[in-house]
Structure 1
Amino acid sequence: MQVSQLRDAKPLLLTDAGDAWDELAEKFATHTADCGKYLHQPLQQGNWGGLAAESAADRLARMQRDLVVAKRELDAVGTVLRACGEEFAAQQGKLANAVADATGAGYHVADDGKVTAPTVDTAGMKPGDVAMMQRDQATRAQGYADRIGDALSAAQKADKEYAAAVKLFTDAANRCAKGDWSVGFVELAKADELNRELLHELGMPDKKGSPGSVQAWWAQLSPSLQAKLIQDYPQEIGNRDGIPAADRDRANRTYLPMLLNSLESEYAGADGDKAKALKDKIDGLQGIKKQLAAEGEPRPYLLGIGSEGKGRAIVSFGNPDTSKNVSAYVPGLNTKLSGHFASADVDRARNVATMANKMYPDTTTASVVWLGYDCPQLDSFSWSATDVMSKDDAKAGAPAYDRFLSGIRATHESGSPHVTAIGHSYGSLTVGQATQQPGGIPADDVVLVGSPGVGVNKASDLGVGAEHVYIGAAENDQVTYLPSPNLLEYVAPGSEYGPKKNWFGTDPADNHFGGHHFAVAPGKDTGLTGLAKGDLPAHSLYFDPDAGGDSLPNIASVVTGHGDRITTTRPR
């Protein structure tokens, strides 16, 4: 490849073409949803039976499947074309900078990339000085040539890779035209690979990179390139710890309708448990969409969304990068991305921010609900449900939560916000496991409510100091009384002989655990029947401004750094 070829290329035409393919893909998504809503599902749910009905249903199902495949293929084509354009633009920029530096220093750049040093009148110079000057010129010329050569080589390599990727889609189109609509996993995987390669080429740290390294990388990009990456890679940018909250919010608001369209297209052709799981995620995202559109303060920020596992969502009320205080609440048992999460759990985060701003108007507070892991699921309490009996989900979620909190510190404008980790129910175990990560949890205070145990024996084991641990346990919250699976370890509440052991370690509400214990309304007692049926009103009152008594004001005091103002209560 010649210098002039890369210099005069118009890579933005490729990104524009990618955008056009995306628009076409969205039309296919609409057709897929319409096919399911108006044709396939009414036929399945109607009273028409017999061979003709079965044949029609089968053909409509295949048509719907083909539309889903086509939409995925079109999405991937758009991805490849955009990635190609941005790769060429990146190398074009590197070439332009190298050429400008060379010519600015008086060096000549040939079209083949060769760099020639300027002619210098050496009359009157000593031979040794001439030799030294020539060596310096040769070194500098080689440096410019290497930079130019690297850009040309990278562009040449990208040209071959993207041409091969486009051929994959051309072959796929020919295959589909002949009636073979088998899913093109090879093409889709190639598109994802090129996506990752481009971000890597631009210097984005890999997934093992710290939030601090991500923040440093993002800060050195130009505003125009940041805006382009937010538009073209909203999923990657919006869900990366270390990207500023305002940019994550913009990226995820861009990604939200894309994710919804994708899930709705998939739902149109699904049934059974898969359809139910997809419907939960769709309802959850629709609910979050309504929360984002609602007026009022504090303003919501969408810091993460995804369809992995049981769904992912991170919503903050208030900007965590500019607020003096930041709390991050981890929900627990039975939480998943659903309509209930979008209302109940998201509202809990809003309630914390609202109460904190009401009680302490002289400071600023951002309150986050963090669903960045899979919580155990139960339709009702059952000892056969091994997921809730295990620490596995909490251990799996702890590193991600720890990294999120590190990201809060990395992007904060002052670098030193007051951070409170809040864990409710099984989420308190996740917070507890996060405190055991290498380096400890990047939080100033820890709040545990409705906890069945946090995996440690004492408040001091959480790594923030027992004086910075706060516990709330409603008198009638059955979850806080779940005994250790080893009955030999059980000690009655209030016993002087040792700490009471819950399912996941010492009961945080026990007087042997340590920390500060704050007042909470007792809640309704539904007894063992409620425990068996999952009817646990006392387990859900901690963030309720009415039913929770002093619980929410106490949480707000801790979150704002006024833990000395909580209404205390005697431990068990």
Structure 2
Amino acid sequence: MRVSELRDAKPLLLTDAGDVWDRLAEGFTAHARDFGRYLHRPITQQGIWGGVAAESAADRLARMQRDLNVAKQELDGVGTVLRACGEELATHQVRLREAVADATEAGYKVADDGAVTAPTVDVKNLAPGDVAMMNRDHAAHAQEYAGRIGDALSAAQAADKEYAAAIKLFTDAAKRCAKGDWSAGLLELATANGLNSELLSELGMPQKGASPAAVQAWWAGLSPSLQAELIHDYPQQIGNRDGIPAADRDRANRTYLPLLLSSLEADYAGAVGDEATVLKDKIEGVKGIQQQLDRGREPRPYLLGMGSEGNGRAIVSFGNPDSSKNVSAYVPGLNTKLSGHFASSDVDRAWNVAHTANKMYPDTTTASIVWLGYDAPQLDGFKWSATDVMREGDAKAGAPAYDSFLNGIRATHESGSPHVTAIGHSYGSLTVGQATQQPGGIPADDVVLVGSPGVGVDKASDLGVGTGHVYVGAAENDQVTNLPTSNPLEYVAPGSEYGPKKNWFGTDPADNHFGGHHFSVAPGKDTGLAGLATGDLPAHSIYFDPIEGGDSLNNIASVVAGHGDKIQNAAPR
């Protein structure tokens, strides 16, 4: 590749072409969704059609719908490759132009093959030693400029070859589909995703596992125009990365949200049974979050995370955590998943905390977050033993992600020193407890535990923030806070002056042996052990309710706003 070829190229035409292919893919998404809704699903419903002809038609329609989804994936892949190619070539083009400009301004000449020659200098009045030194300097600079130019040309040529090969995969796939073979093109789709990740690496994005501080430093070093391009082209990766500022994560996730919804709806169009139920929950959750974003409440919502992995992921903040003096991050627990219920109930809990804290303490600013960044255990009716609610696995798996998120809050905060409160409700309190045991401890100033079945430690002092910074709320009739251990005697005779009361995951945080501050909560409706067995637990859901919870919400808001001394104290158990 020659200097003029890369210098005069128009790589952004490739990114524009990628956008066109994306719009074409969106059209196929709509076709697949309508196909399932108006053709395939009606014909498979019992009582409408029957017999061999109906079964044959349903099978044929299912295969046609699958083909539409494959076509959509292939078109997505083409758009991905074209955009990635254009952006990488544009990056190398900028490197080339900067190197040529630096050489030219210094008086060096750049040939079209990349060779660099030093400027001609009148040396008749220079001493021989000075001439020799000057020639060495000129040769070194010429070599430096030539190296920069050569690196840019070589990288662009390698990228051109790599992307041409990727496009050929899709060309071959199109020929295959034209012959009637609509099997999913896993090779070309994997190649497209790989190129996507490679481009972010080319731009220096820290690898997975890097600290949020390293991610923040990388992001801050990019130009605003490049940041905007990455938000547009890689919304999922940017929107879900700890260390990216909240406003940028919000823009990225708002871009990604309709794409995620389209993908879920396309999958749902051909799904049946449990798979369809799971997808329906996620679709309702995404739509519910979009409604929360559109409600216009204050403080305004920021969408800091969104994904379909596991039971679904969503992180919503009311108020900007990068500019607010106080930031809380609430981890929900038992039965929480990305669903319509989460998008209304759990997201509203975060708003209640922010609204109440800002109302009670108008001299400061508070942002409140609901963090669904892990798979909470699901209670399946009477099948307690068949769920993960009795085990620590989900909490231990979620703890590092929560710890990273809180570190990201500190890394991107404008002052670098927000007052951070970690809030754990139900099984989420165990996740918070496990996060406190991560290397370096939890990056929080205060810990609030409500409706807790235990947090995996014996005493408040074990949480690493100081006993005086641990706050516990437990409704009298919340059976989850009385979750029996494997030893029934510890439940029948819960605690005494000789030792602490034990819950399933360790010492009951509401027990006087645990330590910390205990704040008042309304007792809640008593459904007894039957409620624990059936999941009828109204007292377990009152902690963030401004009416049903009594003083609970005001107490939580006081701690979050940095006024833990203002809580309404309650006697421990």
Task: Return the letter of the residue paired with 1:4.
Answer: S
Task: Return the letter of the residue paired with 1:32.
Answer: A
Counterpart of 2:174 in structure 1 is: 173
Shift, 1:494, TM fit: 4.6
Task: Return the letter of the residue paired with 2:10.
Answer: K
Instruction: Answer whether contact 1:324 1:365 (CA < 8 A) is retained.
Output: yes
> What SS does the corresponding residue of 1:542 show, helix, strand or coil?
coil
Shift, 1:386, TM fit: 4.0
Shift, 1:344, TM fit: 0.5
Q: What is the alpha-carbon distance in structure 2 between the residues aligned to residue 250 and residue 271 of structure 1?
A: 34
Counterpart of 2:77 in structure 1 is: 76
Q: What is the alpha-carbon distance in structure 1 between the residues aligned to residue 204 and residue 455 of structure 2?
A: 38
Instruction: Answer whether contact 2:494 2:502 (CA < 8 A) is retained.
Output: no
Counterpart of 2:275 in structure 1 is: 274
> What SS does the corresponding residue of 2:471 show, helix, strand or coil?
strand
Identity %: 80
Task: Show the 5 A alignment for 1:475-486.
Answer: 475-486=476-487
Q: What is the alpha-carbon distance in structure 2 between the residues aligned to residue 396 and residue 10 of structure 1?
A: 46
Counterpart of 1:318 in structure 2 is: 319
Counterpart of 1:467 in structure 2 is: 468
Counterpart of 2:14 in structure 1 is: 14
Q: What is the alpha-carbon distance in structure 2 between the residues aligned to residue 327 and residue 290 of structure 1?
A: 22
Task: Show the 5 A alignment for 1:324-335.
Answer: 324-335=325-336
Label 1:492 to 1:130 Cα distance change in 2 as closer, same or farther (>3 A).
farther
> What SS does the corresponding residue of 1:334 show, helix, strand or coil?
coil
Counterpart of 2:397 in structure 1 is: 396
Counterpart of 2:25 in structure 1 is: 25
Counterpart of 1:98 in structure 2 is: 99
Label 1:381 to 1:142 Cα distance change in 2 as closer, same or farther (>3 A).
farther
Instruction: Report the TM-score, using the length of structure 2 for normalisation.
Output: 0.98
Q: What is the alpha-carbon distance in structure 2 between the residues aligned to residue 269 and residue 195 of structure 1?
A: 28
Instruction: Answer whether contact 1:477 1:538 (CA < 8 A) is retained.
Output: yes
Task: Return the letter of the residue paired with 1:25.
Answer: A
Shifted more, 299-308 versus 98-107: the winner is 98-107
Shifted more, 116-125 versus 212-221: the winner is 116-125
Total equivalences in the alignment: 572
Instruction: Answer whether contact 1:19 1:78 (CA < 8 A) is retained.
Output: yes
> What SS does the corresponding residue of 1:419 show, helix, strand or coil?
strand
Instruction: Answer whether contact 1:491 1:499 (CA < 8 A) is retained.
Output: no
Task: Return the letter of the residue paired with 2:9.
Answer: A
Counterpart of 1:39 in structure 2 is: 39
Task: Show the 5 A alignment for 1:414-433.
Answer: 414-433=415-434
Shift, 1:142, TM fit: 1.2
Shift, 1:216, TM fit: 1.0
Shifted more, 549-558 versus 383-392: the winner is 383-392
Shift, 1:120, TM fit: 1.7
Shift, 1:491, TM fit: 8.3
Structure 1, unaligned runs of 5 or more: none
Shift, 1:381, TM fit: 4.7
**Cα deviation per residue 1:180-207 (whole Å; 9 max; x = unaligned)?**
0001111111011000000111111111
Counterpart of 1:373 in structure 2 is: 374
Structure 2, unaligned runs of 5 or more: none
Shift, 1:486, TM fit: 4.2
**Cα deviation per residue 1:436-481 (whole Å; 9 max; x = unaligned)?**
1111111110000000111111111111111111000110110111
Shift, 1:484, TM fit: 2.4
> What SS does the corresponding residue of 2:385 show, helix, strand or coil?
coil
Task: Return the letter of the residue paired with 1:262.
Answer: S
Shift, 1:129, TM fit: 1.9
**Cα deviation per residue 1:252-279 (whole Å; 9 max; x = unaligned)?**
1110000000010010001011111100
Instruction: Answer whether contact 1:381 1:531 (CA < 8 A) is retained.
Output: no
Shift, 1:150, TM fit: 1.1
Shift, 1:245, TM fit: 0.7
Q: What is the alpha-carbon distance in structure 1 between the residues aligned to residue 487 and residue 306 of structure 2?
A: 39
Counterpart of 1:188 in structure 2 is: 189
**Cα deviation per residue 1:483-525 (whole Å; 9 max; x = unaligned)?**
3224576683451111111111111111111110000001000
Task: Return the letter of the residue paired with 1:36.
Answer: G
Task: Show the 5 A alignment for 1:90-489.
Answer: 90-487=91-488
Q: What is the alpha-carbon distance in structure 1 between the residues aligned to residue 533 and residue 22 of structure 2?
A: 49
**Cα deviation per residue 1:125-159 (whole Å; 9 max; x = unaligned)?**
22222222222221111111111111111111111
Task: Return the letter of the residue paired with 1:533.
Answer: T
Question: Please, what is the CA RMSD of the aligned residues?
Answer: 1.1
Shift, 1:106, TM fit: 1.2
Q: What is the alpha-carbon distance in structure 2 between the residues aligned to residue 434 and residue 334 of structure 1?
A: 20
Q: What is the alpha-carbon distance in structure 2 between the residues aligned to residue 492 and residue 156 of structure 1?
A: 75
Q: What is the alpha-carbon distance in structure 1 between the residues aligned to residue 440 and residue 102 of structure 2?
A: 44
Instruction: Answer whether contact 1:456 1:506 (CA < 8 A) is retained.
Output: yes
